Structures are given as structure tokens and as C-alpha cells.
Amino acid sequence: MPAASPAPVADAASPELTRAHARRLRDIYRSAGWPCQDPLEIDLLAAGLLERLRSPLGHETLRVTDAGVQWLATVLARNRAALSAHEALVERVAREMARAGRLAWTGLSLRAQVPTGDPAKPHRWCIARPDVFSIRHTSVESYVEPVVHEIKVRRADLQADLRQEAKRGAYRDLGECWYVLGTDARGRPIAQPEEVPAECGVLLALDGRLTVARPAVRPARASLPFGVWMALAKATPIGGSDDDAQALLGEPS
């Protein structure tokens, strides 16, 4: 869930609210309102998004105020907009890969190996879920040139992802790793290429185009493991740009 914006409160000294606050407020909204009495709850009470209620028996519960409901609605709208932008860019990158003559998939779960730093067991298996995965359309296994594209449309999401070194390691175990960076509300890239690790390529989605800001370093692996081939065999690649033209061939003139 993306970082939540500060709620409109009168006191300038009120705490800055984050996605953890939004998650807690949503949980309270869906629950009986029993208090946890922790710092998150204190922040929400101070911001006027929660209020305390006392029953005739002296039990204290919490209720989300009207301001809290409005803030949750704002956060929800922003999350939906960010998700829609992410899905649109994922689709665009996958289509571009297909138009380039590659086989492209979205929504895959692929087994990959990441280093552990332990000489006795140098690698461990994990599940990688790339936004877009593509290979060359070839019958020669050593020519497939697998590529992972990770799509980011929010800076906070990118920064959180870059802290996960094992995740990048899993992507690079599968093939080249590229980060596709969207733009902020002012049309500026959400990050600069130098903020992304040097082994990863960077594509910028600017002015309706995908521009290479820095190429990726190709990993040493020359082929894909059998488990990845099985996953690809069970999935359906994105259609290419000539699908409609091919369909016309079967229509009467």
C-alpha cells in the first residue's frame, strides 16, 4: 500500500501519517474498536481520525471519525490510481516486447536462486514474480536472452524495492534486470538512473515513449532452468502487434 498523505488537521505539530497509520485505521474501522494503546493509535487520536467511546460498563472502544473516513477514502483513491498506472505501464512494456519480436508474459511466478553468503550452502531457492518476463522468439536455447522488467510508478515503492537485494538477485538469476520508471505528478521521472544499482538497466517512460537511460549488464547464465521452461509452457504470452492482421486473413474479402 502506497504511503498515505497527511490528514487535514488543524494542529501543525500533529504527527505525519504513513501507510502504517492508514492500515491501522482501516483495521479499526472493520473491527469492534478495541484499543491497542500503542504509538500508532496515539497519532491517530491526536490527528482527530479516531475518537474514544466509553460504554455504560466503563469499557473503552475506538471509533473512526468522519475525518478518518474521509482520509481513508482519499488514501483508497490514490492507491487505485497508482495501481491503474502500474498496470497500464506493465501492459505497455509487455506489448513493446512482443512488438520487438519477443515472447512476453506478465503475472508469472518463477523459481530462482539467490546467494546466501554461506559457503556450505551458497544458494537458496525463492519465488520471483517479475512484472514482465520475456525471451527471444528462437528455437536455440542459448539464444533466448531472458529479460525481466520491473515496473515502478511511485518513488516510495522504488526505494522500498531497491532495499531488497535478494529480490534483484532472483531477477538476475533469471536474466537481464531492467527497472522501468514512471513519472510523478509533474511529469518528472520518479528517480534518476544512478539511483538504480549499476547491474540493472533503466528505462524511462517519458512523453509516451520508453527511453533507454542505461543498458543492463547481462548475467552469465546462458539458458533457463527446466522449472522456468515448465512455467512458461503453462502460461500464455502477450499477443503480438500482428494478431489483428492475422485474424483478417481468415475473413472473406
CA distance 34 to 30: 11
Q: How much is the pLDDT for 43?
A: 94
Element containing residue 155 per DSSP (H, E) = helix 155-162
Distance CA 208, CA 210 (A): 7
Helix (H, G, I), strand (E, B) or coil at 206: strand
Mean pLDDT for back-to-back runs of 10 residues, the chain (253 residues): 44 71 93 92 95 92 96 90 87 94 95 85 90 94 93 94 92 95 92 96 93 92 85 88 43 44
| Predicted pLDDT of residue 248 | 38
pLDDT at 83: 74
Domain limits, the chain: 19-64, 85-238
pLDDT score for 123: 83
Side-chain half-sphere CA neighbours of 87 within 13 A: 6
pLDDT (0 to 100) of residue 222: 62
Q: How many CB atoms lie within 10 A of CB 172?
A: 23
pLDDT of residue 240: 59
Instruction: Provide the pLDDT for residue 246.
Output: 42
CA diameter of the chain: 82
Return d(Cα 171, Cα 127) in angstroms, integer. Answer: 10
The three grid cell numbers given for residue 94, joined into one nine-digit string: 509487455
The pTM for the full model equals 0.67
| pLDDT at residue 7 in the model | 46
Tell me the one-letter amino acid at 194: E
